[in-house]
Amino acid sequence: MVEQPSFGRRLKAMRLERGLSQAALVGSGMSTGYLSRLESGTRPPTPQVIAYLAERLGVSAADFEESQGRSTSLARALANAASAPADEAIAELADALKATPQEDHALRWQALLMLADFERRRSDHDAELRLLKDLVQLSGQVDQPELELRARTRLARCLRVLGRLEESMRYAAEALQIAEERHLSPADTGAALLAMVSASAEAGRLPEAQEYADRVCRLLPDLPGTMPVEALWAASTVRVRQGDGAAALDYLQQAINALDSGTDVVLWFRLRLAAASLSLQLTPPEVAHARKLLKEAEAAVDIIGIELHRLELLVVQAHLAFQEGQMAEVRELCDRLDGHDEQLSFRDRSRLQMLRNQLLIVEGHTEEGLRNLQELALNARKALNLDLAAEIWRTASEALTRLHETKHD
166-199 residue pLDDT tens: 999 999 999 999 999 999 999 999 999 999 999 9
State pLDDT tens for residues 216-249: 999 999 999 999 999 999 999 999 888 899 999 9
pLDDT at 157 over 50: yes
pLDDT band at 140 (very low <50, low <70, confident <90, very high): confident
pLDDT band at 103 (very low <50, low <70, confident <90, very high): low
Residue 68, pLDDT score = 44
Q: Could you report the per-residue pLDDT of 73-94, keeping only the tens digit for each?
A: 788 888 888 887 678 888 888 8
Task: Pick 59 or 70 by higher pLDDT.
Answer: 59
**pTM of the predicted model, to two decimals?**
0.74
The amino acid at 360:
L
- Angle at which helices 186-202 and 165-181 cross, to 10°: 160
47-82 burial string, b = 16+ CB within 10 Å, else e?
A: eebbebbbebbeeeeebbbbbbebbebbbebbebbe
Question: Which letter does DSSP use for residue 259 in this model?
Answer: -
Residue 3 has pLDDT above 80, yes or no: no
Q: What is the pLDDT of residue 188?
A: 96
How large is the greatest C-alpha to C-alpha distance in the chain, in angstroms? 95
Which has the higher per-residue pLDDT, 72 or 216?
Answer: 216
Residue 409: what pLDDT?
Answer: 56
Contact 179, 188 (CB under 8 A): yes
Q: What is the pLDDT of residue 241?
A: 86
CB-based contact 323:291 (threshold 8 Å): no
Rounded Cα gap, residues 96 and 104, in angstroms: 12
Q: Residue 165 is inside which H or E element, if any?
A: helix 165-181
- How many percent of the chain have pLDDT more than 90? 56
- pLDDT of 349 above 80: yes
Report the alpha-carbon distance of residue 10 to residue 105 in Å, rounded: 9
Mean pLDDT, the chain, integer: 89
**Residues across the chain:** 409
pLDDT of residue 1 exceeding 60: no
Torsion sign, CA atoms 126, 127, 128, 130 = positive
> Would you give the distance in Å from CA 62 to the centre of its chain?
40
Give, for 126, the enclosing helix (H) or strand (E).
helix 125-142
pLDDT of residue 377: 92
User: Given a cut of 70, is residue 56 above it in pLDDT?
Assistant: yes
Confidence bin at 273 (pLDDT 50/70/90): very high
Amino acid in position 195: A
> Residues of the chain with pLDDT > 70: what percent?
95
- Integer CA distances (angstroms), 30 to 36, 70, 350, 385, in order: 11, 28, 61, 57
Q: What is the predicted pLDDT for the residue at 69?
A: 44
Q: SS3 for 138?
A: helix
276 pLDDT band, cuts 50/70/90, is very high
- Helix-strand-coil percent breakdown of the chain, rounded to 5? 80, 0, 20
Q: Is 144 exposed, middle or buried (0-12, 13-18, 19+ CB in 10 A)?
A: middle
Confidence grade of residue 127 (pLDDT, cut at 50, 70, 90): very high
pLDDT of residue 40: 84
